[in-house]
Amino acid sequence: MIINTGARTDTAQYYTAWLLNRFAEGFVYVRNPLFPHKVTRYELDPSVVDCVVFCSKNYAPLLPRLHEITERFNTYFHYTITAYGRDIEPGVPSIERSIETLLELERQVGAQRIAWRYDPVLLTHDYTVERHLDTFSWMTERLAGHVDRCIFSFVEMYKKLERNMPELIALTPEDKDVLARHFGRVAAEHGMTIQTCGNNGSWAQYGIAASGCTTLAILGAANGVRFRTLKHKGIRTGCGCFESRDVGAYDSCPNGCRYCYANQNAAKAVENWRTHDPASPILLGAIGEDDEVTQSPQRSLLEAQQTLF
């Protein structure tokens, strides 16, 4: 199975000690976000966890001890570095510092295991189409050869985002075409694979693939292993990613990104972070008497006799 550490919260940045404790002890409890008293136990063992997928905007806190995980597990790292400053992403380091951290991550795990995420692409009075064109070009020049691929997506205009960012300017079809054409051309000039993920239109004419960002093909190639051919439904509608199990929790990321879908209440997220117990087997709170704990029926998805590099 595939374990994901960062779809619901930035675990690598804010819950480093907890995450390392979970891998050291070899199991984790995860609360069902729809049915809070239902808890699943996952074994964190290489015999049943085929790859650990990380998603973060700052790997610096994890880097000194990352080897405790990478020495035992296949891994893949999504690193989100966008054009935005603290007005949009209050808890995220600067672009320059983020790139430095990415390069340090590459020295540890190799470029083939890192995907640079330039998403979501959104527009405001300050973050114009022209600014995205310039920033993407500069970042691509810095990151070419240091990542496996670039993944971008255009922001989805859902209701909560409209409330949180009233200054948001809707992307027109023409805006998207200009941006996609530029992204595809710049990536090609620097020999970088570029793709979208999810329902973001078709830009194949600009050399941009439409693929899941955590497919078994991507994870297998990055780690030198082969997965069995398996059918799957994707993580959500229009998504080609293979199903994974997230160890995090919603309303727990203090980054404060104004476009965030995982936090309903930013103040609650900060409070959850401040009060969490790094020694607990579950990210937030503890297992209570009313909780129903179920063991996950885990199994390997790899072809027989697969090993790490």
45-90 pLDDT tens trace: 999 999 999 999 999 999 999 999 999 999 999 999 999 999 999 9
pLDDT reported for residue 133: 98
Dump pLDDT digits (tens) for 171-225: 999 999 999 999 999 999 999 999 998 666 789 999 999 888 899 999 999 999 9
Find the radius of gyration of the CA atoms of the chain.
Answer: 19
Residue 307 has pLDDT above 70, yes or no: no
Please indicate whether residue 233 or residue 264 has the higher confidence score (pLDDT).
Answer: 264
Nearest to 38 by CA among 293, 285, 298: 293
- Residue 161's φ and ψ, nearest 5 degrees, are -65, -40
pLDDT reported for residue 267: 93
305 pLDDT band, cuts 50/70/90, is: low
pLDDT reported for residue 224: 96
What SS3 state is found at 79? strand
pLDDT reported for residue 236: 54
| Mean pLDDT for the stretch of residues 30-56 | 97
Which residues pair with residue 152 across a beta bridge? 118, 196
| Mean pLDDT for the stretch of residues 100-113 | 98
Dump pLDDT digits (tens) for 135-176: 999 999 999 999 999 999 999 888 788 888 999 999 999 999
159 burial via Cβ count (<10 Å: 0-12, 13-18, 19+): exposed
286 burial via Cβ count (<10 Å: 0-12, 13-18, 19+): exposed
pLDDT reported for residue 239: 62
Which residues pair with residue 271 across a beta bridge? none
pLDDT reported for residue 150: 98
How far apart are the C-alpha atoms of 115 and 107, rounded to whole Å? 14
pLDDT reported for residue 304: 77
pLDDT reported for residue 309: 45
